[in-house]
Amino acid sequence: MRIHIIVFLLVAIVHSTNTVVVHSTNTVAVLEIVPMGDVKFDVATSRYLTNELRSNARNVLPQVSYIILTRENILSLLPPDEKEAECLAEACTVDIGRAIGAEYITQGYVSKLGNLLALSVELYETMSGNLIGSFSAESKGVEGLLLAIREKSPAMFAEIKTNVKLKNSKPDTNIPSTPSGPKNNAWIAVSLGALGVAALSIGIYNHINAKNLYNDYKAMEPGHDDSYYEPTRQEAKDAQNVGNIGYIVGSVLLASGIAIHIWF
């Protein structure tokens, strides 16, 4: 039983120094749908189309795992020297995503195709810059573009869930296997120290117990065969062995905690 306690202490410290940080929430930014070239429609139309796109993102992506940024969120997160209109005109969608810390970002453009309005919407993973989904549509009027958003954008946003599943199924070498930083190092040092003290306490207890058992063994009545004395003698020996293990394990853990506290 005492050996099991010491094994538990060792397992606990190995687990504590191999913590993996997992991010469970993904942020999705939906930028304004922008008219390009000769296309002219008012701000209200642009925002209406964008709100439809954003609503479909909310409907497809569960709120527990995904945050859909509003236009106000995006503007408040942009650095002070960034101008949304200028940046959008330069088609730097991925750059905006990185600037505001969004994992995924989508952007739509409306241009002229003959006598038609042509809508093109693209969805990017900002960290890699990879295009993971898109759709396009042509229509004589804005109403047709609105219908296309309602019909086609859900499938595009579903690609985010597929992409997240693929990322989670592969080990991410960019995630550190051990905590880093002063606070985490201090936490590790304290944990090691606490476990070391616990192991040393077990060692001290068992050495005291071994001494008492040995005294009991010496005080036993003489004249009996070895089978009469052996259980007490063996119990004293086992307690002493467990005590030695407690001393060794406790000393190593305590020394490791002190070393981490000093050097890191």
**pLDDT truncated to tens, each residue of the chain (264 aa)?**
444 444 444 444 444 444 333 345 789 999 989 888 888 888 889 899 999 999 999 999 988 889 998 777 777 776 655 555 455 444 478 888 888 888 999 989 999 998 999 999 999 999 999 999 999 999 999 999 999 999 999 999 999 999 888 887 766 555 554 444 555 677 787 787 788 788 778 878 887 888 887 787 777 777 777 777 778 778 888 888 887 887 888 788 778 878 776 765
Q: Where are the beta strands (DSSP E) in 114-245?
A: 116-125, 130-139
What are the distances in angstroms from CA 89 to CA 32, 64, 96, 123? 11, 33, 12, 17
pTM > 0.75: no
* Burial of 73: CB neighbours in 10 Å, binned 0-12, 13-18, 19+: middle
Give the pair of three-digit tokens for residue 248: 């060794």
Token pair, residue 20, equals: 């993996």
What is the Cα gyration radius of the chain? 33
Q: Using CB atoms within 10 Å of the CB of residue 205, give its burial: 0 to 12 exposed, 13 to 18 middle, 19+ buried.
A: middle
CA–CA–CA angle 150, 152, 154 (5° rounding): 80
| Cα–Cα–Cα angle for 22, 24, 30, rounded to 5 degrees | 130
Among candidate residues 164, 135, 165, 131, the one with its CA nearest the CA of residue 151? 135
| CA 180/CA 221 separation, integer angstroms | 61
How far apart CA 183 and CA 180 sit, in angstroms, is: 8
Beta pairing, strands 104-113 & 130-139: unpaired
Q: Which DSSP symbol is given to 29?
A: E
pLDDT at 8: 45
Q: In angstroms, rounded to a whole number, what is the distance separating the alpha carbons of residues 98 and 223?
A: 86
Q: How would you label 12-44 residue by residue, b for 16+ Cβ within 10 Å and e otherwise?
A: ebeeebeeeeeeeebbbbbbbbbbeeeeebeee
